[in-house]
Each structure stands twice: as C-alpha cells, then as structure tokens.
Amino acid sequence: MATRLSDIVRAIPARLRLQGSAARSMETARHRLVVGGLLFSVAFAVVAIRLVDVTLLAEAREPRAARVPNTGPLDLARADIVDRNGVLLATSLVTQSLYANPKLIGDAETVARRLAAVLPGLDEKTVRDRLAADARSFVWIRRNLTPRQQYEVNRLGVPGLFFQREERRVYPHGTLLSHVVGFSDVDNRGLAGVEQAFDERLKADAEPLKLAVDVRIQHAVREEIQHTIDDFKAIGGMGVLLDVNTGETLAMVSLPDFDSNAPGLADAESRFNRNTLGTYEMGSTFKMFTAAMGFDSGAVRMQDSWDASRPYTIGRFTISDFKGKNRWLSTPEVFIYSSNLGALRMALQIGVTRQRDFLDRVGFLKPSPIELPEVSHPLIPKPWREINAMTISFGHGITVSPMQLVAASAASVGGGIMRAPTILAREPGAKVPGERVMSAAASTQLNQLMRLNVERGSGKTADVAGYFVGGKTGTAEKIQRGGYKKNARISSFVASFPAHAPQYVLLVMIDEPQGKRETGGYATGGVVAAPTAGRIIARVAPILGVQPMNETPPDITRPLLASAGIR
C-alpha cells in the first residue's frame, strides 16, 4: 500500500510537466493561426486593390478596345448570304483580334519572338519594330485569331497585349461560288461579287440575302466543266444556267476559281470572272440571232435558199465554210451545217441598220445589267459597215460577255421577251416584267432550228433522252493584239430545254481546248462543249423538276425537214 502511494506521489510532477508542455504547444499554434490569418488578409487585400486598379483605374491610362483610334463604335455585323433554298453561302463569326500598347511593352524583341512562336506566319521583325515604337499607344498585331491562338497568347502573360472583339466573314463552300459571292476584307467591307454589290444592304439589314443560285446545280455545272477542262487540257471554262421566265441565274461557274476565304492567295486569272467580265467573239452561236432577226424582220423565211457554193471575197478578206457543202443551202441547212456563207447572205438581206437595232434590243450593245460589280463593256464596230454586218452574222467582229449571250438567248427562245438577268432570287410565282424584242412567231421558228440542230446537226452530242434539248454550237478563234491567236479557240454551246417550250438556257464555253486522238484532233464546240452541256442537263433537269418525256416528244422539226428537202 505504501509502495503504491509513493508511486502516485512520484507521478504527479510528471503529469504536471506534460500538462505544461501541451499548454505551450497550444499557445504556439494559436500564434501561428493569427499570423497566417494576417498573411491571408494581406493577400486578399492586395488582390482586391489590383482588381480595383484593373477595372476602374486603368481605364484612364491604358487603351481599351472601345477606344481604338478612328475605328468608331463596334458594329461590324453583316447579314448572311444564302442560296435560293436557304443554304448558307456566307456568314460572320465572332473572333478576337490582338493589339498592343508599345508603351507598356518592356522588351520588344523578346515579346516579338514569343508572339511569332505562337502565331504562325507572323513577321517577327515587323512586330518588333511596331512594339519598339514608344510614341504609339496602339498597334495591331494580328486580326481574327482562332480561339486556340487567343489561348496561346494569353498563356504568354505579357503585359500590354489586349484583345478586341471583331467579326470574320466565312464562306462554307470555299471555291464553289467564289465569283458569285465574292469576298470581303478584314474590316468587313465587300470587295468583290455580291459582297461588294450589296455591301450597304448586308450591313443595314439583318435578314439573309437570298440569291438565285442553287448550290446543287452550281456543283453539277462546275464539276462537269472542270472534267472537260481536264480532259481537253484547256486553260479555263465557264458556264451559266438561266431561268427563261424569270431571268434568275441558277448557276454561274468560272474556272479557274479561288477560295473566298483566302482571296489573297489567288492570282489575277483565278479571280477573273469570265462570265461577266470577259468578252469574247462568240462564233457560230451568233447564227441564232442572225436567224431570229431574219425571221422577225421578214427578211428570212424557212423556205429560202442561200448561196454557199463558193467562198465570199470582199476586199482583202475571203470568207468560207468549215467543211462546206459547196452548194446552195436552205435556211434550216444554213443552221444545222453552221454555214458562214449562208449567215452572211442572210445579214446582207437583213441590212446593217436592222441588224444593229436588233442586237441592241437583245442587250449586246451595252453592259449586262446583272447585279455584280465585275461587268465589262462589249466591243462593237464603229462605224458599223456592211463588212461588219457580214462577220457579225457568224459571230466575229463583235465581242460580248457570256452573260450577255445567255440573256439574249433566253429572250430569243423564250417567246421574244427580254428579261434582265439577276443574281437575286425572285419571289415564287411573281410576274417578272420584260420587254418584247422579237415576235413570238420568230422565237418559235428559232426553237425549231435549235431542236433540228440537235437532231441532225453539230449539236447531236448534247441530246439527252427525255429532255428534248435544242442548241447551237460555236467555235471561235481567240483574239490577241494584232489579230488572232494561232491554234487557240473558244468552244461553246448554247442549249435550251425543253425545246418546244424552253424553261432554261444553258451556256457552256471552254477556253483553248486541245484536240485528242479520240476526237480526231478536233476541239470544236460540237466535240467539246455540246457533250458537256448534255451531261449537265442530265444531272440538273431532275433537280429543276423538269419531267422527262417518256412518250414521243413533240415533233416540231418535221415541217422544216420538208421545206429544206432533208430526209
């Protein structure tokens, strides 16, 4: 018992010592908490002060996006551009653009090097020079960054770099409609095509601008023309499909083309719209208009015959036929054999004044009214003499644009009513005004010749079963300074369908096609352009809702065969 009591007495000081040690530890922990709390309070205070400085005080001494010199308020929105079915052709996306305040940049060389590392294509020397300009408070570094590029710049953590919200124009179809839609610059100003022509409308009205073109048809036309260019090793080509009754341009292809998203990478040849800006001698396609004006004026009748027995000489010029028949030809034969001699005889019968007046009515003597900025002026003879009338009768001595040709063709086969071609969509069912440029009877006679040419003449390769195609071929030498370019031609074909009541006109032109072994070395309109037109019609007619004729098609050519003595 005594031993146990003594053990308890001895343990008391040890317990007291343990209690004292715990108290001291708790006191130390308390002091540490106080110090930690003070440090956190100071840190939060610093952060709060910095936030106030950045959000409230820095406005007075640092350039902000809203205060960019000479940029005005940020209102750069442009309306979308869509095709006739609402398919998006052009739209705007929000982006961020990078600028800097050189006064806040420390080491310009280092910053320029770091920026060039995260922004491919950035000119390091140019950026360094800009950042070293201490007298300036604002310089652009790169416009329209991608989200990834913005992230990488932010990661650099460089003071003096800032972002401004902007909008970038985007063209989802790239090259497909580049000559129609055009493009805009980095400041959202339209510089070509519809973007330029309707620049103010696109800025002022948020509603999408609806075009007449159909992406599906555009794709088919482009693909077939590109195939022909490749097949015949041509340097280019073009095609236009027009609605006869509305004047709507359903497709417009000019090759080579370019990417509307990167127009600066394209050369001048690719940016050149051959359909509206190019002018060409159209060759034998002009015989359509010689026949039409002859019928309209009464100077030409189906039962007439024309001397094509030998070449025609005037002054130092001699005019002859390609693969001529060397005999008198009936009016239908002049058309299906594409006789230059027969056409010039018609022109002489029509007369200079009536020829000029007719070509003026169908739009050949003035620029096309199509709503694009890239429109050329035709080159017409001055003075307009008898020799000019003769050469113009078969498509030489006057240069016009393909758009002028297809619009005049639409009027000639469409009952004689001229409707201005348009790149904009018409309201469905809207009555489109037009001007009568020839009699309906003359138009009907021309349609008979067009169909006969596909049945019996140079347009055979354009025929498509069920769609009753009419058409006229053309092959013209290319003009160069001082005369014609040797072994260089434009091969073309104008098609209408269905021929008995045309709803659509298609023009195909191939620039400098080369003959092949399979074609016997020929590269004429009937060999090159007509088959292309046929393939296009076979693809687009179902899209357009043209019903194929499974039964026997209307016989509109039998009277011509009888009058011409053709079996």
Q: In this structure, what are the phi and psi dihedrals at residue 18, rounded to the nearest 5 degrees?
A: -65, -40
Q: In this structure, what are the phi and psi dihedrals at residue 509, rounded to the nearest 5 degrees?
A: -135, 135
- DSSP code, position 65: G
Taking CA atoms, 174 is separated from 86, 95, 112, 198, 219, in Å, by: 17, 19, 32, 20, 12
User: In whole angstroms, what is the distance from residue 6 CA to residue 348 CA?
Assistant: 151
Is there a contact between 219 and 200 (Cβ–Cβ < 8 Å)? no
Strands 161-170 and 88-100: antiparallel
Choose among 478, 362, 91, 405: nearest CA to 242: 405
Would residue 521 be called left, alpha or beta, if left means φ above 0 and alpha means ψ between -120 and 50 degrees?
A: left
Whether the ω angle into residue 498 lies within 30 degrees of 0, i.e. cis, is: yes
Please give, one letter per residue, the 3-state secondary structure of 503-554: CEEEEEEEECCCCCHHHCCCCCCCCCHHHHHHHHHHHHHHHHCCCCCCCCCC
Q: What is the pLDDT of residue 74?
A: 43
Q: What is the pLDDT of residue 59?
A: 41
Q: How many residues does the chain have?
A: 567
Q: b/e for 520-559, b at 16 or more Cβ within 10 A?
A: eeebbbbbbbbbbbbbbbbbbbeebebeeeeeebeebbee
HSE (CB half, 13 Å, CA atoms) of 32?
6
Q: What is the pLDDT of residue 460?
A: 95
Q: b/e for 164-194, b at 16 or more Cβ within 10 A?
A: bebbbbebebebbbbbbbbbbeeebebebbb
In this structure, is the dihedral angle defined by the CA atoms of residues 293, 296, 297 and 303, taken in order, positive or negative? positive
Say how many Å lie between the first and final Cα of the chain, rounded. Answer: 150
Give the residue carrying structure tokens 């014609």. Answer: 484
What is the token pair recorded at 99?
């600028």
For the question of residue 284 being annotated catalytic, the response is yes
User: Pick the catalytic residue: 284, 338, 393, 491?
Assistant: 284
Taking CA atoms, 31 is separated from 24, 38, 78, 142, in Å, by: 11, 11, 64, 54
* 140, β-bridge pairs: 99
Q: What is the pLDDT of residue 275?
A: 97
Is there a contact between 494 and 525 (Cβ–Cβ < 8 Å)? no
User: In whole angstroms, what is the distance from residue 222 CA to residue 252 CA?
Assistant: 8
Choose among 309, 304, 331, 335: nearest CA to 320: 309
Question: What pTM was estimated for this model as a whole?
Answer: 0.80
Per DSSP, helices labelled H in 53-123 are 108-118
Q: What is the pLDDT along the chain (567 residues), one digit of tens a residue?
A: 445 545 544 555 555 454 555 556 666 656 666 656 666 665 566 555 555 454 444 444 443 333 334 444 445 478 999 999 999 999 998 878 888 888 888 788 888 888 988 888 888 888 888 888 767 788 888 887 888 888 888 888 888 888 888 788 999 999 999 999 999 998 889 999 999 999 999 999 989 999 999 999 999 999 999 999 999 999 999 999 999 999 999 999 999 999 999 999 999 999 999 999 999 999 999 999 999 999 999 999 999 999 999 999 988 889 999 888 899 999 999 999 999 999 999 999 999 999 999 999 999 999 999 999 999 999 999 999 999 999 999 999 999 999 999 999 999 999 999 999 999 999 988 889 999 999 999 999 999 999 999 999 999 999 999 999 999 999 998 887 767 787 789 999 999 999 999 999 999 999 999 999 999 999 999 999 999 999 999 999 999 999 888 656 567 776 666 666 666
Angle at alpha carbon of residue 99, lines to 97 and 102, rounded to 5°: 175
Choose among 515, 458, 459, 474: nearest CA to 281: 474
Q: What is the pLDDT of residue 158?
A: 85
Structural domains of the chain, ranges and CATH numbers in brackets = 218-564 (3.40.710.10)
Residue type, 124: E
Taking CA atoms, 429 is separated from 183, 246, 328, 432, 564, in Å, by: 31, 10, 48, 9, 41
User: In whole angstroms, what is the distance from residue 473 CA to residue 455 CA?
Assistant: 13
Residue type, 335: F
Helix (H) or strand (E) run with residue 434 in it? none
